[in-house]
Amino acid sequence: MSGLKPAPLSSLLETIHLDALPPAWSVQDWHIFSRQKSLWDYQQAALQQALKLLWLYYQQAVDYRPGEPDEANARRKQALLERYGEAATEKLDFDLHKLRRDIRHLLQHYFPAEHQRVAFRHVINRMGFWMATGSGKTLVLVKLLEILWRLMQRGEVPPNDVLVLSCRDDLLQQIRAHVDEFNASHPELTLRLFDLREYPDRKREIPEPADDSGMTVFVYRSDNLGEEHKEKIVDFRNYDNGGRWFVLLDEAHKGDREDSKRQHIYSILARNGFLFNFSATFTDPRDILTTAFDFNLARFIEAGYGKHIAVMGSEFEPFRRTGKKSPETVESVTTQLEKKKMVLSALVLLAAIQQARERIQAAVSETVYHPPLMLVLVNSVNVEQADLKQFFEVLVEVARGEISPALWQEVRFRLVEELRSGVQWMFERPQQDPPLAALADMDYHAMLERVFHARRPGSIEALIRPSNRQEIALKLKTASRPFALIRIGDISEWLQNELAGYEISEVMNGEAFFDQLNTGRSDIRLLMGSRSFYEGWDSNRPNVITFINIGVGADARKFLLQAIGRGVRIEPVPGHRRRKAFLPPEVLPAALNSVSAESRWLESLFLFATNRATLLQVLRHLGEEKRRLSRSASQPAISRSPETPVATPSKEARRFPIREDELRLLRQYVHDLADDRLLMALFQLTPLQIQRLHTCLQRPSDCFTHENAPVYGKVSVLMHALKFYFQLNHSGHRS
């Protein structure tokens, strides 16, 4: 482990024991998402941090009361600011002098300004989830909606409207798909998703966001919120609702926090509610400070959930040097040769990993590990001398066998030496490096078979589906299966220009090649494209990523991290997504120990960059941010009041908190019903829970406490809280 300290908020929340929260704040099924999916321990930990902060804000700071004035939220914000202590410095305030005029006026309209500054405390009602790409942030977001619904039902948090924002249509579609899956497995709860533009109509039909059957959730594109109204752009002021929103952002924090008006709009909508920010790439100091759960790429890998990351020493620099086509010169010939060396190095490495998988399968079974894949991510596709065209030209030469014995020997020797001494392992390195003997002995035909599915060199032909204008599959005429897939926005120009003269065949049956990548039926070894793989696509398969003219500047941090996140997932055996060393022995086939050396190839992700220094800087920056924040948030800076629970709850804490007047109301209500079947029908209580309810009413001093009791307000809310209290404190007991 790196030994990096967590961000200030997450450090504060770690001092709060979940078991010490009142019964009304209990959650029974942290791990259940759907019939098909269970949440991993780190996803459950993210939700638990969220619950603790909501409790800290809505009960410990100022206990929530229905109908309370907005001033209560101001007091909560001040109390939370005091918890941060010295970590929340004036540097986090918004200096209005430094902001654009339109943003300055926007902030002054919604937040009080003092000495031309808007204090950080006005937007402190937020929490961040800094989670690695591919770690399942969307599942956590949907599960958090369920928790908010339960807390609203119990009267522990205000019944604010709920808004989910994401930056792309495909990500919103992914959220909808996860909600559909969740709903299908939770008959007692339906998350009802509506477009934000339907807000006025839906509020007339269903005024309250949460009811006994479910919760209304509005969704929209984050970049379509503004201060004007067009076809898709909406004026956020029409949906302001007094700032009483629970706003959940899914990678919606585009733009620098100071200069992006949309970032301030999100805070304005949540000014009397709460903001939840999910991302793999926090850069703003306010987001980092308010990170409730920190599981970024570095921690994801350190905890064994991701592959080891190796940054190769050689660079794809020749692709960067190439300009417009010119008459062949010694320099251009040299550049073309250097390109071929780089492409060949990546292909040989991929072949070595595939060879390792074949040995593992022969020794164990076909179900272990994944078929390796190489991602070729380029900056340009359809311009003159586009990066993708350059790579394709070199790939054609390699497939045809236009490689001299001397070149093959040089590439193989240089690659072996680089893996021995020129690789930079990030965050942590394997206990032992992958074995290099098989790679050193590999010949061209072995590479051809493992990457191109061919025994002989051959010309490339293209496969297309008339109904799909985004992808082109490539195969050799000497092979029966495709080996590569080009996935771009529109293939028309490629078919007309770059593939002119190549044989093109139409494939009429079956699903799209891209959709098959993770099914086990895919023969694709190379996936080539631009920025279409950064978000919304997860796979265990990538073991090699080549960045061609992506990440050559310091502003590429977000894109690089998201792309790397596409490749770090690991699943050695079905259903267990951690590296082999982190899995319990009982789930591992015994024969897997005999090929442990080969598994190191499959548990590593090798990165080739155009600018290696920039890539290393981006990855190292994850650790530097943590160290910087740890210094700014030294131990004295994290303040907590004496009443914060930090120990196992006492007997008093295990008793159900209820005010005397509401206990009398409960006793009278149960007496008036006079039929336990009504309790079963109205509140879904089991016979054992009904028995415990009667026992508690007969022996109130054993079950109830009047200390720090909230106001439930309604019998339905009180009964829901009691039901969860019984589940939490009486499991397996007899009255």
Q: Which pLDDT does position 329 carry in this prediction?
A: 42
469 forms bridges with which residues in the sheet? none
Mean pLDDT lowest for which of 132-146, 375-389, 535-549, 720-734?
720-734
Domains annotated on the chain, with CATH:
8-295 (3.40.50), 307-624 (no CATH), 651-729 (no CATH)
State how far the Cα of 534 lies from the Cα of 532, in Å rounded to an integer. 6
Residue given tokens 């339109």 in the structure block: 102
- Whether 395 has a pLDDT exceeding 90, the answer reads yes
Q: What is the pLDDT of residues 205-220, one digit of tens each?
A: 888 999 988 999 999 9
Geometric angle at alpha carbon 134, from 149 and 18, rounded to 5°: 40
d(Cα 467, Cα 494) in Å, to the nearest integer? 16
Nearest to 595 by CA among 613, 608, 580: 580
Residue 626 has pLDDT above 80, yes or no: no
- Neighbouring residues of 239: CB distance < 8 A, sequence distance ≥ 6: 163, 196, 199, 269
Q: What is the pLDDT of residue 85?
A: 83
**Among 180-184, 288-292, 626-630, the least confident range:** 626-630
Q: Locate 7 and state its tokens.
A: 């961000």
Determine the residue type at 475: K
Asked if residues 242 and 83 have their Cβ atoms less than 8 Å apart, the reply is no
Asked whether the predicted pLDDT for residue 552 surpasses 70, the reply is no
**Residue 100 is which amino acid?**
R
Confidence class for position 328, pLDDT limits 50, 70, 90: very low
Q: For residue range 679-730, list pLDDT tens digits in order.
A: 887 877 788 888 889 989 998 888 888 876 777 777 877 887 787 677 655 4
pLDDT tens profile 629-677: 444 443 333 333 334 443 333 334 467 888 888 898 898 888 888 888 8
What's the confidence (pLDDT) of residue 52?
Answer: 95
Helix axis angle, 715-729 to 137-153, nearest 10° = 120
660 phi/psi in degrees, rounded to 5: -60, -40
Flag whether pLDDT at 133 surpasses 50: yes
What span, in angstroms and rounded, lies between the C-alpha atoms of 451 and 373? 9
- Tell me how far apart the alpha carbons of residues 607 and 618 are, in angstroms, rounded to a whole number: 13
Altogether, the residues listed in the chain come to a count of: 735
Here the tokens at position 153 are 């039902």
- φ/ψ of 312, rounded to 5, equals -70, 155
By the 8 A CB rule, do 655 and 704 touch? yes
Cα–Cα distance between 418 and 406 in angstroms, integer?
A: 18
Max CA distance (Å), the chain: 98
**The pLDDT of residue 368 is above 90:** yes
Percent of the chain with pLDDT over 70: 88
Q: How many CB atoms lie within 10 A of CB 404?
A: 8
What pLDDT score does 120 carry? 93
| Cα end-to-end distance, the chain, whole Å | 47
pTM: 0.76
DSSP-assigned letter for residue 114: B
Do 171 and 535 form a contact (C-beta atoms < 8 A)?
yes
Tens digits of residue pLDDT in 5-25: 445 788 888 888 888 888 889
* pLDDT tens per residue across span 371-381: 999 999 988 88
Each residue of 248-275: pLDDT tens digit?
999 875 544 445 888 999 999 999 999 9
The fraction of the chain above a pLDDT of 90, given in percent, is: 45
